Chains A and B, each alone.
Chain A
Amino acid sequence: MSGDGLLVTVDSHVHRVPAQVKVVALFVFVLAVVSTPAGIFWAFGLYAVILATAVVVARLPLPVVSRRLAVETPFIVFALLLPFVATGPQIDVLGVQLSQTGVLGAWNVLAKGTLGVVAAILLSATTAPRDLLGGLERLRLPATLVAILSFMVRYLSVVSDDLHRMRIARESRGYTGGRVGHLKAVAGGVGSLFVRSFERGERVHLAMRSRGYTGRMPTLGQPGATRSQWAQGLAISLLAVVIAVAARVVAS
């Protein structure tokens, strides 16, 4: 687990957009997508084109993006269940009776969910964790929360390496304790991981106080975005809002 998140280190226009602009832009975009009535298929086509363009401009390798889409799999199951579970008028699909609203609902979940995941991948692959936190700080996220996030990101790799080493140690000893004993071993390791993480947290805090910390964390110093940077960054999102409004008008 890396403290680099999912960052893909290439240079592109998208990478250079300030983090706070990207966060706002993506929220607005996804909100627009979620507000679009499910039946207006052309709207979703447009969204997909917009996102695909952004992925290309960001120079993200396609295999990387599609691999990360795999996180979607759990709720695909839910989506596929909907046609069988939902009520309302039935239609015939390949000889199977499916709920009409259920099929539309499945499409709704799949389309919006996938677009949402790609948007999130776009954000995480083009923004270094430090810059993302700096952007959140500029967006007035409370300083304590930014500090907690910052420490979490910094020590993610340390803690999960600890866990990994524990697992390797356990497996190297060819653990054959039987099921009940097995849980005890894993949980014991996790328990001691908590103690170690807690103690490390205390030591870090003491290292901070040793260097004069009295409660205020230094800011991450993310520079503010200019008006033109905001305009550039929000352009796609505002386009999406226009599409969403148009779709609503057409649907009503």
Chain B
Amino acid sequence: MSGPAIHVERLVFAYPDGRQALFGVDFTVERGERVALLGPNGAGKTTLVLHLNGILGSVAGGTGSGRIQIGGTGLHREHLPEVRRKVGLVFQDPDDQLFMPTVRDDVAFGPANLGLRGAELDERVHEALVQVGMHDHADLAPHHLSFGQRRRVAVATVLAMRPEVLVLDEPSSNLDPAARRELADILAGLDVTLLMITHDLPYALQLCERSLLMDNGRIVADGKTRDLLGDADLMSAHRLELPYGFNPLSVPGPER
């Protein structure tokens, strides 16, 4: 992959009911970076992220303008299948991604579409499930799993495609503390470019050295996570608050 992992230029987008969500977004993420996308609800974070693998925006037949490049290649209809392998998107609701009858079927779906069959496919499925610690549950149906387990399987379904960029939407939401830590360990150990939408500021600090702050459809700050979180005026201007007792300057950042 040549060029930056993600390059977005002057991105504009409006929903079908007329509500404009992005008012000109610009940013670049280099290979191997781990970036957190912060901001209040309604800022447009999820909307932005859905543009990165061609789900929203003009390539999808929608309304908007601007330029997006993934790994140096522009986002056009012909390149979509390749982009969708390179950019793995983990949605907020695991039920949106676990749509097959069993866990194994779900994790196999992606690689099977890439052409894997037989023993090679089984190997890939096993590898992805082991990465998230769910290989014992391969033959269960999704509704038999707990929320945290479903979240992990959702990550596995994307990992099975061996993406270069992993985009996660609120990965730690609704997870109990143990599950949250387990997921952090999994994410820290992956060799990918990471873009993570989160409200969980300690999580952002733990896993991402850089952060983008979005508000009202625009990027209002771009810098080291520790600096952003330490800027009290910036935080309060955009409805961000640190958890009780958390001091960003007192904890180590991500280990790399």
Q: Is the CB of B99 within 8 A of A209?
A: no
Q: Does A102 contact B (CB under 8 A)?
A: no
Q: Is the CB of A130 within 8 A of B102?
A: yes
Number of B positions contacting A (CB below 8 A): 30
Chain A, range 133-182, C-beta contacts under 8 Å to B: 133, 150-151, 153-155, 157-158
Interface centre among A130, A151, A157, A206 (most CB of B within 10 A): A206
User: Which residue of B is nearest A205, CB measured?
Assistant: B99
User: Which residue of B is nearest A209, CB measured?
Assistant: B84
Q: Does B74 contact A (CB under 8 A)?
A: no
Q: Is the CB of A130 within 8 A of B101?
A: yes
Q: Does B79 contact A (CB under 8 A)?
A: no
Contact of B96 among A200, A209, A213 (CB under 8 A): A200
Q: Does B108 contact A (CB under 8 A)?
A: yes
If the complex has contacts A130-B102, A203-B91, are A208 and B109 also in contact, measured as CB distance less than 8 A? yes
Q: Is the CB of B113 within 8 A of A154?
A: no
Q: Does A224 contact B (CB under 8 A)?
A: no
Q: Does A46 contact B (CB under 8 A)?
A: no
User: Which residue of A is nearest B92, CB measured?
Assistant: A203
Q: Does B199 contact A (CB under 8 A)?
A: no
Q: Is the CB of B105 within 8 A of A211?
A: no
Interface centre among A212, A213, A220 (most CB of B within 10 A): A212
Q: Please measure, in the bound complex, the distance between the C-alpha atom of A155 and the C-alpha atom of B113, giving whole angstroms.
A: 22
Q: Please measure, in the bound complex, the distance between the C-alpha atom of A50 and the C-alpha atom of B93, giving whole angstroms.
A: 48
Chain B, range 148-163, C-beta contacts under 8 Å to A: 157-158, 161
Instruction: Return B192 CB to nearest CB of chain A, in Å.
Output: 15
Q: Does B211 contact A (CB under 8 A)?
A: no
Contact of B108 among A155, A209, A218 (CB under 8 A): A218
User: Which residue of B is nearest A151, CB measured?
Assistant: B99
If the complex has contacts A129-B101, A158-B95, A207-B97, are A212 and B81 also in contact, measured as CB distance less than 8 A? yes
Q: Is the CB of B96 within 8 A of A210?
A: no
Q: Please measure, in the bound complex, the distance between the C-alpha atom of A154 and the C-alpha atom of B142, giving whole angstroms.
A: 9
Q: Does B130 contact A (CB under 8 A)?
A: no
Q: Does B89 contact A (CB under 8 A)?
A: yes
A contact residues around B142 at 8 Å (CB): 154
Q: Does B85 contact A (CB under 8 A)?
A: yes
B contact residues around A2 at 8 Å (CB): 143
- 1/0 contact trace for B69-110 toward A, CB 8 Å? 000000000000100110011010101110111100100111
Q: Is the CB of A210 within 8 A of B84?
A: yes
Q: Please measure, in the bound complex, the distance between the C-alpha atom of A170 and the C-alpha atom of B20, giving whole angstroms.
A: 32
Contact of B84 among A133, A154, A212 (CB under 8 A): A212
If the complex has contacts A210-B55, A218-B108, are A157 and B143 also in contact, measured as CB distance less than 8 A? yes
Q: Is the CB of A218 within 8 A of B99?
A: no
Q: Please measure, in the bound complex, the distance between the C-alpha atom of A165 and the C-alpha atom of B117, giving whole angstroms.
A: 41
New A-B contacts (18) at CB < 8 Å, excluding given A155-B95, A203-B93: A3-B143, A130-B141, A150-B100, A150-B101, A154-B142, A155-B99, A203-B91, A204-B97, A209-B84, A210-B53, A210-B55, A211-B161, A212-B81, A212-B114, A212-B161, A218-B109, A220-B101, A220-B105
The 7 closest A-B pairs by CB, nearest first: A212-B113, A211-B110, A130-B101, A203-B96, A207-B97, A204-B99, A206-B55
